[in-house]
Amino acid sequence: MTTIKGVLFDFSGTLLRIEPTETWLRAVLTASGTTMAEAEIVRLAGELERAGALPGGSSPAEIPAELADLWEIRDREAARHREVYTGLARQVPLPRPELYDALYERHMTPDAWHPYPDTAGVLAELHRRGIRIGVLSNIGWDLRPVLRAHGLDRYVDSCVLSYEHGIQKPDPKLFALACRELGLHPSHVLMVGDDRTADGGATALGCAYLPVDHLPVDRRPDGLRPVLELVG
């Protein structure tokens, strides 16, 4: 078996998980001074969930026709990403128009993201073993401040973000770039991620692939631990 010398991790649903939709909505309502009946908050949160308005959360139950093309390439450019997700949120009538942008802004804050219970421990152990660590994400904004706020950046050697390169996983060019950033041949790299199509595309380049389950943080206490068994 080829020795693994570097690990690429997906971000959302792999290393960290976005807060629940209801928590997301409540945070924005509170910050904006918008008061609303409890039942109404719960109802709107459910509608936003079905709309797929929270990046990193549930996929849309139905993508509006006017957003369908953008949805497919949403992670190639920051403006597209914002347009798609604020557009999905606008399928749900909210009491103030500025809330749509406020919701989008909220999801990019460190407080909106929670590391999985074993994230820090697994990254620290890989770092201790001298394994190169990269984050490779389909995303429309800079996740580095989130890693920094949660004390994870100290373990990460590189971040390759789709919107900064105009390429999305599973395009082999993005995996090739991420491997070059680690200074390793793809055959020595393990890709870890929750999307078997996007992240699993790494195998086309010769990387190994380990899938993890996209679950709430309290339901996946040790999903990253198998990485340590695969890496010498």
pLDDT along the chain (232 residues), means of 10: 92 98 98 97 98 97 97 98 98 97 98 98 98 98 98 98 98 98 98 98 98 97 97 82
| Residue 90 φ then ψ, to 5° | -70, -5
Q: How many CB atoms lie within 10 A of CB 31?
A: 12
pLDDT the model gives residue 44:
98
pTM for the full predicted model: 0.97
What pLDDT was estimated at residue 12? 98
Contact between 58 and 46 under an 8 Å Cβ cutoff? The reply is no
- Token pair 């152990």 is found at 125
Q: Give the residue range(s) of CATH 3.40.50.1000 domains in the chain.
A: 6-17+114-230
> What pLDDT was estimated at residue 2?
83
pLDDT confidence of residue 158 = 98
Q: What is the pLDDT of residue 1?
A: 58
Q: Whose CA is closest to 214, among 56, 63, 72?
A: 56
Query: Which residues lie across from 158 on neighbouring strands?
Result: 134
* Overall fold of domain 6-17+114-230: Rossmann fold (3.40.50)
Cβ atoms of residues 150 and 26 within 8 Å: no
The letter for the amino acid at 91 is Q
User: In a 3-state reduction of DSSP, which class is residue 47?
Assistant: helix
